[in-house]
C-alpha cells in the first residue's frame, strides 16, 4: 500500500512539472505572437502616414493636422500627427474583425504618432509611431521610425525629345526592306592615246664559218 502511495505521489509531481512547463511554453508563444502582431500594427500605422495623399497639405506651421474626418477600418477616428512621448496621449489602436483580430481581446492596445519637419529641409518629414500593449501584465511600448519626402524628379521641358541612340561603329549598316542591291563599282578606264612601245627586234645570230682554214 505504501509503495502505491509513493508511486502516485511521484506521478502527481511529474504531472505538475510537465503541466507547468507546457503553460510557460504556451505563454511564451502567446507573447511572441502578440509582439509580432504589435510590430505589424505599428508598421500599418506608419504606412497610413506615408500613404496619406494630402500629407503635405495638412501641415499647420511645423505640425500636421492628420487625416481630418478619416477613420480606420475599425471605425476609430484618426488623430492629428502631433503626439509626443514626453506628454503621452494614447489613442485606441485598430483591433477588430477587419484588422488585427488577434489583438481585439488585449486589455491595452493603444498608439500615438508624430510627424515633424526636418530642420533645414522643408521637403522631408520624420515619422514616428509608438504602440503600447499589455503583454503578460506588463505595458510594453514599441517605437518605429520612417521618413516621407516631398521631392519629385525634374521633368523634361515640353516639346523636347531625347536624341536617338547612335548605332555602334563596328556593326554593319542594315538596309530596311525593301532594299535595293548596291550597284557594284565600275572598273576604272585606262587612259586613251597612250601606246606601249613595240618590243626591240631580236638580233640575228652571226653565221659560223665552215671549211678548212690554214
Rounded Cα gap, residues 81 and 160, in angstroms: 42
Long-range (24+ apart) CB contacts under 8 A made by 64-69 are 64/115, 64/125
Cell numbers placing 81:
500627427
Give the number of other Cβ atoms within 10 Å of residue 90's Cβ.
16
The whole-model pTM stands at: 0.59
Q: What pLDDT, in 10s, does the model give residues 84-140?
A: 999 999 999 999 988 898 888 888 899 999 999 888 888 899 999 999 998 877 888
> The C-alpha cell of 1 is what?
500500500
**Residue 89 near residue 112 (C-beta atoms within 8 A):** yes
pLDDT of residue 7: 81
Pseudo-torsion of CA 46, 47, 49, 53, nearest 10°? 170
CB 78 within 8 A of CB 70: yes
SS3 164: coil
CA-to-CA distance for 72 and 51, rounded, in angstroms?
13
Domain ranges across the chain: 6-149
Helices (H), the chain: 2-50
* Alpha carbons 197 and 7: distance in angstroms, whole number: 139
Backbone angles phi, psi at 103, to 5 degrees: -100, 5
Please identify every stretch of the chain with a pLDDT value under 50, giving residue numbers as ranges: 160, 210-214
Residues in the chain: 214
pLDDT at position 118 is 87
Which pLDDT score is estimated for 56? 87
Amino acid at each position: 500500500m505504501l509503495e502505491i502511495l509513493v508511486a502516485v505521489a511521484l506521478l502527481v509531481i511529474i504531472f505538475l512539472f510537465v503541466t507547468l512547463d507546457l503553460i510557460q511554453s504556451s505563454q511564451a508563444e502567446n507573447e511572441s505572437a502578440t509582439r509580432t502582431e504589435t510590430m505589424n500594427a505599428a508598421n500599418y500605422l506608419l504606412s497610413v502616414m506615408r500613404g496619406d495623399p494630402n500629407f503635405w497639405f495638412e501641415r499647420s506651421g511645423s505640425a500636421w493636422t492628420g487625416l481630418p474626418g478619416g477613420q480606420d477600418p475599425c471605425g476609430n477616428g484618426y488623430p492629428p500627427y502631433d503626439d509626443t512621448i514626453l506628454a503621452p496621449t494614447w489613442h485606441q489602436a485598430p483591433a477588430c474583425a477587419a484588422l488585427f483580430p488577434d489583438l481585439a481581446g488585449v486589455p491595452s492596445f493603444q498608439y500615438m504618432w508624430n510627424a515633424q519637419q526636418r530642420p533645414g529641409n522643408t521637403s522631408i518629414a520624420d515619422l514616428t509611431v509608438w504602440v503600447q500593449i499589455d503583454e503578460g501584465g506588463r505595458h510594453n511600448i514599441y517605437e518605429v521610425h520612417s521618413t516621407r519626402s516631398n521631392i519629385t524628379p525634374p521633368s523634361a521641358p515640353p516639346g523636347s525629345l531625347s536624341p536617338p541612340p547612335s548605332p555602334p561603329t563596328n556593326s554593319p549598316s542594315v538596309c530596311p526592306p525593301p532594299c535595293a542591291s548596291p550597284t557594284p563599282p565600275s572598273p576604272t578606264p585606262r587612259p586613251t592615246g597612250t601606246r606601249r612601245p613595240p618590243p626591240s627586234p631580236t638580233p640575228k645570230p652571226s653565221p659560223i664559218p665552215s671549211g678548212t682554214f690554214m
